[in-house]
Every structure is written in C-alpha cells, then in structure tokens.
C-alpha cells in the first residue's frame, strides 16, 4: 500500500486528505496541533464573541471518518528527500507521496520593535491572549488616575487594511461601544479609540471601488478612525510611532499587514521567493521532485502574470488538486495544470454589514452579511461547532451581547 | 452611602452581592479573576466534555444587573482593620462592611513530591492544563514502542474518594472507553487504567451505605480500579508510590484528597484552625470585628458538634446569611445565629448514573442523574452558558462524543 503523508491540517491539507481517503492509500496526517483551526474566525474569539473551542476541530475526529487515514501529532524538523522520509520530533515517517501545506505566519518585515510589542492572530492561543489583553486594558483603565494614560489603555491601533484588519476593527469597535460601554459605567468608553492604519490609499484592495468606499464609510460611521497612506515604524508598550513622526499613545498594537510562508518552508531545501514562499511547477510539485506537492500559502505560483494570493480559497483548491493529481498518477494519467478559480471574496464589517464581490457582482450591507454568515458556518468543521457559533451570533444579533468576556490569564506588571 | 466590600466571587460572595444589591449600599465586588467559576463542572472541562468558557461568567455581567454594585479586579494583599480598608495590588478599598469568601485550595498535606507532580482542579486553567495532559499522554502512547511505558502513559491515578474523585474517575473512564477508543484505533485502549485511591474504607463518606455500595459497584463495572484503605506517599512523573510499598507506573496523578482555606485567610490576622480555616462567631463575623464576615470554605463554624463541611451549599447559605445580617443591622435588628440546612448531596458517576441523598431519602441511577443535570443547569450562571452546557450533554448522551478533545498547549520534553 502506498503511503501519502500530508503535513499541515489547514484548509489545504484537510482537502487533500478527504480526496485520498478510502482510495487504497495509507494516509498519514501530520500537524503540530491535534486540531484543524478555522482561522477566519480568530478575530471573533479575540473580541469575546466566540469561545476558542468552537473554531477548532480535532484531526482524529476527521480521521475517524476518512478511511485509511491516521493522525501523527508532531513538529516537522526536516525532509529527507533521498530516503523519502519526513523527519519529526517524534520519529521519521516514510512516504511515497508528500503534500506540504503548513500555511503562513505573520510578516513583520524585519521590524523587531513592532514584532516584540504587536499582537497578531494566527494561532488559537493568539486569540485568547489578545482577548485577555483587551479586557485587562479596560480593567486597568478603571483604576488609572491619569486621563492620558487611561485613554492610551483604551486605544487600539490596528495595522493592515486587508480583510483581517477590517473585520477586527469592526468587531472591536462594536465590542467597545455596545458591550464594554455597559460593562464599564465608570469609564467614558466613548473616549476609546480604534485606529485602523493602512499603508496604501485603500482598504480591501482586492475589492471593487464601490465596496472599498462602502467599507471606509461604514467603518468611519461606526467610530473607527481610518488612517490611509500611513505607516507604523516603531512601537513600545505605551505608544505607536508613524513614518511622518506622529505618535499615538496606545496600549495595544495589532498587526495584520502581511504574512509570509511558515518557517517550515525553509526545510524544503529550495530557494525561497519573496515572503519565503516555495515556487512550484504548474502541477504544484517541487521541481525535480514529482512526488512532493506544496500547497496553500507556502506555494508560489503565478497565474495570468501575478502570484496567487495567500488566502484560504487558494489553499482549498490546491489541496483538492494535489489529492486528485495523486489519484490520477496512480491510474497512469495526469491532470491539466492547476488553475485557481476565483469565486470572489468577502469581509464582514459589523453586525448586519458586510461586503462581498463574486462573479463580477458587488454586494454590501445586510444581504452580504447574511451570505457571509452562512458561508462561514458551511466551511466550519463539526456540526456541534456550527451550532455553538450560530448560537453566539444569534445572541449577539438579538441582545448585543458577547458572552466570552473572560480574562483567563492575568497579565502581570507593566505590560 | 455605606460601602460593603465583598472579597471573592464564588458561591458565597455572589449570594451576598445579590442580597445587598439595590438596598442603598455601594457594593464593591473584588476578585482576582473577572469571572465567577462554576467549580463543580471543572472535571467535565478536564475530560473534554465542556469548553472552559461555558462554566465561567463575567462578574461585570452580573454587576450590571445588580444595582449599586461595581467590580474591582484585584488580588487582595492585606486587610487594614484599623483604617477599615482592603489592601489590593491595585489600590486600597475602604469599607463599612467586609465579607470575605475566597474559598479553598488543594491540600497536599505537606507532601512536596505529590504537590509537584499531581494535577488538581480548582482554577479554570487547571482544567485545560489537565485536559491537554491527558490527551497528550495518548498521543505519546501512539509512538511509544515500549509496552510498559505505553501502559504508564495510559494509566491515571486519582487520589480521593469524595465527589470530585468519583466524578472525575467516572468521566475519565468513559472518555477513554467510549471516545478515545474510537480516536486511537492504533492503541489497545482497553489497556488503559483509571485507578481511584481512597485512604478510608469508603467512597463518598457523607452518603448513606446503600449509595456508597452502588457507587463502588458502578465504578468497578465501568472499569475503574478502586483501591480502598490505600495511601499515596510519593510520586514522580512516571510512577506513584503507596504506603504499603507498592508502585503503579502512571504518567498522571490527580489529587482531590483534601482542601484547605485559600492563602488569603492568613491575612485576616487571627489564629487559623486546622486546614487554615478561620473561626467565626455564630453570626459569621470575626470575634471583636462585627463588621467583618467570613463565609464559605474559609469559615470554621461548628454545628451540632462538628465543623461545617467545605462545600458549595454551605458557602451559598453563608453568603445569603451575611447579606441579610448586614441588612438587618442597618435596620437596627439582628438575625438569629447562622444555621446550615443540609438539603442533601449528590454525585454523578457516569452517563445515566448518579447518586443523591436528600431529606433522608436515597436515589441512584437514571433518576438521580436527571436531577443532577437539572440542578447543575439551574445553578450555572448565564442563560447562554446553560444552553451550551446542555447542548454538550445532549451530544454526549446521544452520540457518545466529547467534542472538546483539543490540546491547546503542547507539553514539551519529558513531562
């Protein structure tokens, strides 16, 4: 029986696994976490809207349903291409086919000060850490006698005007205005600031003009300060510095201005493209290694003259393709080269408000928001998770409440 | 306006707050966590049955509904009785009335080796840590070539035959036999051992004889090894040693053999009783300080010749009493001395199986289990929490599944 090893149980790897399951392979699923994480909803965990468990799903629960698959919890430490083995911190795993999709990490573009002080959202624990930090800042503000320091505690600078920055900014201002305003009657919560910083002149750059304008207006009307053509160049725990020399006293800096391939990419022993990505052949294999596929955010592939974006839909389609390509080769055939079909993109701005662009059409407002909800519920894995998430959304919609306002780990001292 | 400060938002303090709310006091709620924790269900978080967020409820959400109350997140570092101030790590809080109910911590009775290696369940993070440890042990067992070591990874020693030990043992053996057996087809999970150790000759000592027998039989039929008249005297990460010189190779030791008053009790500047408890007057005040109440696990009060037990119902009744006593004194009257009304006790053993003793009657099996479920849902705070918990219970009952099988923090190295 041939062995297919899939490294990374993100949006790509889980799709490959589903295709190869029950097809006569020994499929080994490798991840350093024992769960698949639904990253697009991390920002809702960070803003007290969802419990972290509701956006994670155990790999073993999936493996049970996928015949011929088994899970190996491990950190990959290398690839022995000659021996055809994946090297991990808990042993070597031989393979006939290898699919690598370990995703991406936040790119701070070498700014060490920002990297040290900024929060980001890639891992499940990041979301809980950020939620604890936001709520702790308000608790500290209550007993801060100095008005300027109090305002800095309630000031949140979000860098990056892409979907993550926009969605987090919207969710955060609503948390502050609708929920925390009731929790902290002793604070003038209206003094709280949510500042969204974008280096170019546009939010949601991939969206059509009318949706970009809608997003900008909507965020501003909700109370988010949007700074365009602005760059954050330095930070410490108390303030954020901009390229024009201006300073915003802020206790919280959130960074979503870029991603780069996960460090695992360096273990693939090929030259990395900008952002650490790995150039792949049109069939997603490594040059000269037709048994090794690289998928998702780690893969660098140009289409129509531009590299494919590092987003979940690309990873999902690549994951499906890699699985099907392996099946085809076992049958002695080959697939046509991979081609990404862009079905559109969307972002939610706030309660009853989202933007979506699909098949050349633009949607905004309530209808886009409803479609966003349904699509996210659809892609979330696990029926129970869907119910819990839906329950939380209904709660928020009806009662304007976010229930998970828990500080599960207390921050100590000055930071 | 008189100020009442309540330290500790457990079962006692929340009851006092509810009584004093809206009665013309400035009520300050102090806790080092920003949530009330429903401790009786911690063991279900540890055994992957519930998400941690569903058994915690923000104090500020309660304070919103209790007129005249406000929350102060702080660690209490002392009491200045002369100035009538509570000293905290974020400032001093003056009081006219003070109610202290900071609960209890695990009592390892001075056994340093056990304290270092044993897990316990008092805080929310304890439950997540223990769940991570249990699931990680199974993951490690998969790739452990040595059969003896593999078995030790799947061996769990639980010390203490009280309700916590019994409930945890039952929930753990069901997790292993029903859920993990399906998750780990590569392991012979039947080799897993859950060993419940009790120093006396009886489980659930407070229960009538017939319920004790039922519990013992039921646990044994479920596969729990119950060792009576046995004492754990030493432990390291790989094994547990008993007073008769025997050894059980076990990767996990859980300790629920005793509690003692929280360290905060030492700050009250009075001599402590065995278990660190604070002797109180019949009206729950400190001798010579009629404006200071001590309630719950921290309070030492004898009734009918025996000290009151350190359990939630005592704390709740004391909390209500302290609130009512303060109101009475403001009206110039006094209440009769505190008297605990024992409404009975209960423990769940497994799915469809519990024991309950109330008003001189004994119940066991399905009916007791149903009553247990309803009572715990009733006492859980927050409507959304109740729905999420009920959802998880229904899931488990119907599908024999526990969904929260997540390792949210990976253990590194040898332990």
Residue with tokens 């629960």: A61
pLDDT value for B413: 44
A272/A145 same-domain check: no
Residues B146 and B240 in one domain: yes
CA A184 vs. chain centroid, Å, equals: 30
Asked if the structure places residue A150 within a domain, the reply is yes
Q: How far is CA A297 from CA A38, A100, A167, A275, B46, in A?
A: 15, 10, 20, 10, 34
A392–B384 CB contact, under 8 Å? yes
pLDDT class for B415, splitting at 50, 70, 90?
very low
- Tracing tokens 């370990």 back to the chain, one arrives at A102
Q: Do A403 and B53 touch (CB under 8 A)?
A: yes
Environment class of residue B278 by beta-carbon count within 10 Å: exposed (0-12), middle (13-18) or buried (19+)?
buried
Q: Please tell me whether residues B127 and B238 are part of one structural domain.
A: yes
How far is the alpha carbon of A336 from chain B, nearest alpha carbon, in Å?
A: 37
How does pLDDT run across B121-148, given as a tens digit for each residue? 999 999 999 999 999 999 999 999 999 9
> Roughly what angle, to the nearest 10 degrees, separates helices A383-399 and A366-379?
150
Nearest by CB: B384 against A183, A186, A391: A391
On whether both B215 and B359 belong to a single domain, the answer is yes
Q: A-chain residues within 8 Å CB-CB of B33?
A: 407, 410
Q: Show the DSSP H helices in B21-107 as ranges.
A: 42-46, 59-65
* CA of residue B357 relative to chain centroid, distance: 19
Please tell me which residue of chain B has the smallest CA distance to A62.
B183
User: What are the tokens at B308?
Assistant: 């009151």
Domain-located, residue A9: yes
Q: Is the pLDDT confidence value at A310 over 70?
A: yes
Q: Which of B9, B27, B29, B34 to mutate to test the interface with A (most CBs of A within 10 A)?
A: B34
pTM of the complete model = 0.95
For residues A116-143, give the mean pLDDT: 96
Nearest CA in chain A to B409: A125
Q: How far is B336 from chain A (nearest CA, A)?
A: 37
Select from A405, A410, A411 the residue whose CB has the most chain B CBs within 10 Å, as the one to mutate to test that interface.
A405
Interatomic CA distance for residues A96 and A26, integer angstroms: 10
CA nearest neighbour of A23 among A88, A67, A72, A65 = A67
CB contact under 8 A, B403 and A139: no
DSSP A380-397: S--HHHHHHHHHHHHHHH
Flag whether pLDDT at B411 surpasses 90. Answer: no
> What are the pLDDT digits (tens) for A69-86?
999 999 999 999 999 999
Shared domain check, B279 and B354: no
Report the residue of chain B nearest A135, measured CA to CA: B34
- Least Cα separation, residue A38 to chain B (angstroms): 13
Asked if the structure places residue B180 within a domain, the reply is: yes
Domain identity same for B296 and B251? no
Distance from CA of A112 to the nearest CA of B (A): 25
* A412 has pLDDT over 80: no
Task: Kindly report the nearest CA distance between residue B197 and chain A, in angstroms.
Answer: 31
Let me know whether B130 and B241 are in one domain.
yes
Q: State the count of interchain CB pairs (< 8 A) between A and B.
A: 114
Q: What digits encode the pLDDT tens for the residues A247-290?
A: 999 999 999 999 999 999 999 999 999 999 999 999 999 999 99
Which tokens hold the place of B214? 């039922």
SS3 B310: coil
Q: Which residue has the higher pLDDT, A317 or A394?
A: A317
Indicate which residues of A carry an active-site annotation.
167
Contacts of A405 in chain B (CB under 8 A): 34, 58, 60-61
Number of domains present in the structure of chain A = 2
Average pLDDT, chain A: 95
- Residue of B33, B391, B410 with shortest CB distance to A32: B410
B151 located within any domain = yes
Shared domain for B138 and B213, answered yes or no, is: yes
Is A316 part of a structural domain of the chain? Answer: yes
Task: Say yes or no: B239 and B133 in one domain.
Answer: yes
Q: Is residue A343 part of a domain?
A: no
User: Quick check: is A101 in a domain?
Assistant: yes
Percent of chain B at pLDDT > 90 equals: 91
B-chain residues near A404 (CB < 8 A)? 53
Confidence bin at A14 (pLDDT 50/70/90): very high
Question: A407 and B73: CB-CB below 8 Å?
Answer: yes
Indicate whether A240 and A286 sit together in one domain.
no
Do residue A410 and residue B32 have CB atoms under 8 angstroms apart?
yes
- State which residue of chain A sits closest to B37, comparing Cα positions: A406
Q: Among the residues of A109-256, which ranges form H helices?
A: 112-117, 124-142, 147-153, 163-174, 181-183, 209-222
Measured between beta carbons, the chain B residues lying within 8 angstroms of A409 are: 125
- Domain of residue B312 covers 3-32+74-106+259-330
A153: Cβ–Cβ under 8 A, 6 or more apart, which residues?
A: A137, A138, A140, A141, A144, A251
Any domain includes B79: yes
Closest chain A residue to B64, measured at CA = A183
Contacts of B150 in chain A (CB under 8 A): none
* B34, B382, B395 member nearest A403 (Cβ): B382
How do residues B220-238 score in pLDDT, each as one tens digit?
Answer: 999 999 999 999 999 999 9
* Interval A359-371: pLDDT, tens: 889 999 999 999 9
Angle, helices B209-222/B163-174, rounded to nearest 10 degrees:
30
- Residue B357 CA to residue B320 CA, distance in Å, equals 23
CB contact under 8 Å between B405 and A58, yes or no, is yes
**B169 against B391, higher pLDDT:** B169
Which of A279, A309, A330 is the C-terminal boundary of a domain?
Answer: A330
pLDDT reported for residue B412: 54
Residues A251 and A263 reside in one and the same domain: no
Distance from CA of A71 to the nearest CA of B (A): 9
- pLDDT of amino acid B360: 85
**For the segment A169-220, what is each residue's pLDDT rounded down to a tens digit?**
999 999 999 999 999 999 998 899 999 999 999 999 989 999 999 999 999 9
Is the pLDDT at B414 greater than 70, yes or no? Answer: no
Instruction: Give the rounded percent of residues in chain A with a pLDDT score beyond 90.
Output: 91
Taking the C-alpha atoms of residue A360 and residue A256, their distance in angstroms, rounded to an integer, is 27
Predicted confidence (pLDDT) per residue in B310-369, tens digit: 999 999 999 999 999 999 999 999 999 999 999 999 999 999 999 999 888 999 999 999
| Domain endpoint, select from B307, B330, B353 | B330
When CB atoms are compared, the residue of A182, A186, A403 closest to B384 is A403
**pLDDT value for A380:** 92
Q: Report CB contact under 8 Å: B53, A406.
A: yes
Q: Are A46 and A134 in contact (CB under 8 A)?
A: yes
CB-based contacts of A196, cutoff 8 Å, min separation 6: A158, A161, A165, A166, A169, A203, A219, A224, A225, A226, A227
CB B153 within 8 A of CB B138: yes
**Of A300, A330, A360, which closes a domain?**
A330
Same domain, A124 and A203: yes
Of the listed ranges A233-237, B164-168, B378-382, the least confidently predicted one is B378-382
CATH, residue A210: 3.50.50.100
pLDDT surpassing 70 at residue A414: no
Question: CB distance A35–B406 less than 8 Å?
Answer: yes
> For position A289, which CATH number holds?
3.50.50.60
DSSP code string of A227-258 = E-S--EEEEETTEEEETTS-EEE-SEEEE-S-
């Amino acid at each position: 029986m041939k062995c297919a090893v899939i490294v990374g149980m993100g949006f790509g790897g889980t799709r490959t696994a589903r295709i190869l399951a029950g097809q006569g392979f020994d499929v080994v699923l490798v991840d350093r976490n024992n769960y698949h994480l639904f990253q697009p909803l991390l920002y809702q965990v960070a803003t007290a809207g969802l419990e972290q468990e509701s956006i994670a799903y155990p790999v073993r629960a999936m493996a049970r349903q996928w015949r011929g698959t088994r899970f190996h919890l491990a950190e990959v430490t290398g690839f022995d291409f000659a021996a055809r083995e994946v090297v991990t911190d808990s042993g070597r795993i031989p393979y006939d086919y290898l699919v690598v999709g370990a995703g991406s990490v936040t790119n701070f573009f070498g700014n060490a000060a920002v990297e040290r002080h900024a929060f980001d959202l890639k891992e499940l624990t990041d979301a809980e850490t950020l939620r604890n930090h936001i709520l702790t800042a308000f608790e500290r503000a209550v007993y801060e006698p100095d008005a300027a320091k109090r305002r800095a505690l309630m000031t949140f600078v979000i860098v990056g005007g892409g979907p993550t920055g926009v969605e987090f900014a919207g969710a955060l201002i609503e948390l502050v205005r609708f929920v925390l305003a009731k929790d902290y009657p002793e604070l003038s919560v209206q003094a709280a600031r949510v500042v969204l910083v974008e280096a170019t002149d546009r939010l949601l750059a991939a969206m059509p003009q009318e949706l970009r304008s809608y997003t900008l207006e909507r965020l501003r009307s909700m109370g988010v300060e949007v700074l365009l053509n602005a760059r954050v160049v330095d930070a410490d725990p108390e303030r954020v510095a901009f390229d024009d020399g201006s300073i915003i006293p802020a206790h919280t800096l959130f960074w979503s201005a870029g991603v780069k391939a996960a460090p695992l990419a360096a273990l693939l022993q090929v030259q990395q493209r900008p952002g650490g990505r790995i150039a792949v052949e049109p069939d997603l294999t490594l040059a000269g290694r037709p048994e090794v596929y690289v998928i998702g955010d780690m893969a660098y592939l140009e289409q129509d003259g531009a590299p494919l974006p590092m987003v979940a839909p690309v990873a999902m389609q690549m994951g499906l393709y890699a699985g099907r390509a392996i099946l085809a080769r076992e049958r002695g055939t080959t697939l046509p080269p991979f081609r990404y079909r862009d079905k559109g993109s969307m972002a939610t701005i706030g309660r009853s408000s989202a933007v979506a662009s699909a098949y050349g059409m633009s949607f905004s407002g309530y209808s886009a928001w409803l479609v966003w909800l349904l699509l996210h519920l659809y892609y979330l894995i696990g029926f129970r998770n869907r119910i819990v998430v839906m329950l939380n959304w209904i709660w928020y919609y009806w009662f304007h409440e976010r229930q998970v306002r828990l500080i599960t780990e207390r921050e100590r001292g000055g930071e």
